[in-house]
Amino acid sequence: MLVPGYRDCPAEPWDPGTPVDPGEAEDFLRRCYIENPRLGPVEPRLAIVRAQVAATGTYVHTTDELTHGARMAWRNASRCIGRLYWRSLMVLDRRRARTADEIYSLLVQHLQTAGDGQIRPVISIFAPAQPGRPHARVWNEQLIKYAGYRTENDQTVGDPRQVGFTEAVQGFGWRGKGEAFDVLPLVVETPAEGVRVYELPERVIREVPLSHPEFGWFAELGLRWHAVPAIANMRLTIGGVHYPLAPFNGWYMGSEIGSRNLADRDRYDLLPLIAERIGLDTSRESTLWRDRALVELNRAVLHSFERAGVKMSDHHTESQRFVTHLANEEKAGRRVPADWTWIVPPISGGITPVFHRYYDEFDQRPAFYLDDEAAELAKGCPRRTR
């Protein structure tokens, strides 16, 4: 997906009680003001920030700083192939929201703003962490995810990755239909109200039924996928200030759905079914039945989203655009952190232009991070309650 990669991302240690590092704040502000000359000289602003940090342990970003900082974080996301579009990120300042109801309402607005066809990249940034104080967060890995249910014969209906989280929300009273594509509720936790569970309204859940350009039987499988990949549990760090609740979305690259979500053995594991319906020889691996089934599944995803008028990229086009991004950043005098294992697509990687390259992976801020606690919550394993 064309947003910073999160799946199986190693968690980054973080102590929310630690005051802002003045050096990190100054480094960000100098780069922000150099890249945005219209903001004027940076020295007066630095004096204000130093005083705020000395007095409170933190400081408050202006709207311009918040906006550019979020875009820089996307630009620095080493696992994202879609960074060519970093300047187009729409930044919604939600720092005043405090109650669970307010946060839920603004998350619904986020999905509405992202759209249901011509998807736009959006981030909603809620209140920053304050040194020594608890903060609000969303337990969900993404704003829209499908439930996973264990059956009596130890099988799974739905997404196996979400079994733990599904059981956790069932513990709060939620009951799904028990089907393969049940959208999970949002779990919002605030310091004052604890955990609240909310159903997403159907009007903001755009789903695409999957069909195939040649195989009529494919539509009979009843497969579908949602249109907006909105990551909800990564922390945004800008100039030493941490935003634990900053959900963001791009749009899907087809292989994320066709080669991972629907194909991985620990996810929907559809390749054996697709191969059987096509009539492939699955008696041995050397027939390459998995490869052939994978290509047809990816064709179905791309075909279906295009037919539905929902924005999606293919892995060949996006790989070429990432090379363009590398050239643009080189001209701007900026290094580009990149994780080869994520930049290279999970299908036909060797015939894309991003394969035959070496990349440097390094921590460059502003950035997005997955925290230990956020990772546990997404699995349905909270390590504490408030």
The pLDDT of residue 384 is 47
> 173 CB contacts (<8 Å, ≥6 apart)?
197
At 93, list the tokens: 């300042």
Cα of 247 vs its chain's centroid, Å: 8
At 149, list the tokens: 């249910």
The pLDDT of residue 10 is 54
Dist. CA 230–CA 215, nearest whole Å: 31
**Has 251 been annotated as catalytic?**
yes
At 10, list the tokens: 């190693």
- Longest CA–CA span in the chain (Å) reads 71
Dist. CA 269–CA 272, nearest whole Å: 7
**Has 95 been annotated as catalytic?**
no
83, 206, 235, 365: the catalytic one is: 83
With tokens 């099988």, the residue in question is: 155
Dist. CA 180–CA 261, nearest whole Å: 13
* Whole-Å CA distances, 57 to 60, 82, 114, 130, 368: 11, 35, 34, 8, 21
Dist. CA 234–CA 6, nearest whole Å: 8
190 secondary structure, DSSP code: E
Quickly list DSSP for 98-148.
-SHHHHHHHHHHHHHHH-SSS---EEEE-PPP-TTS---EE--SBSS-B-E
71, 80, 342, 365: the catalytic one is: 80
The pLDDT of residue 13 is 66
User: In degrees rounded to 5, what are phi and psi of residue 3?
Assistant: -145, 165
At 70, list the tokens: 């979020």
The pLDDT of residue 131 is 85
User: In degrees rounded to 5, what are phi and psi of residue 83?
Assistant: -75, -5
**Has 220 been annotated as catalytic?**
no
Strands 186-190 and 137-138: antiparallel
Dist. CA 26–CA 238, nearest whole Å: 11
> 28 CB contacts (<8 Å, ≥6 apart)?
65, 69, 72, 238, 239, 240, 365, 366
65, 256, 296, 318: the catalytic one is: 256
Q: What is the mean pLDDT of each run of 10 residues along the chain (386 residues)?
A: 50 76 97 98 98 96 98 98 98 98 98 96 97 92 98 94 97 97 98 97 98 98 98 97 97 98 98 98 98 98 98 98 98 98 97 96 96 85 54
The pLDDT of residue 12 is 65
Closest by Cα among 45, 29, 235 to 127: 235
Q: Element (H or E) spanning 367, and its range?
A: strand 367-369
Is residue 144 within 8 Å of residue 200, measured between CB atoms?
A: yes
User: Is residue 332 helix, strand or coil?
Assistant: coil
User: Is residue 337 helix, strand or coil?
Assistant: strand
74, 225, 251, 342: the catalytic one is: 251
The pLDDT of residue 16 is 76
The pLDDT of residue 380 is 85
**Has 12 been annotated as catalytic?**
no
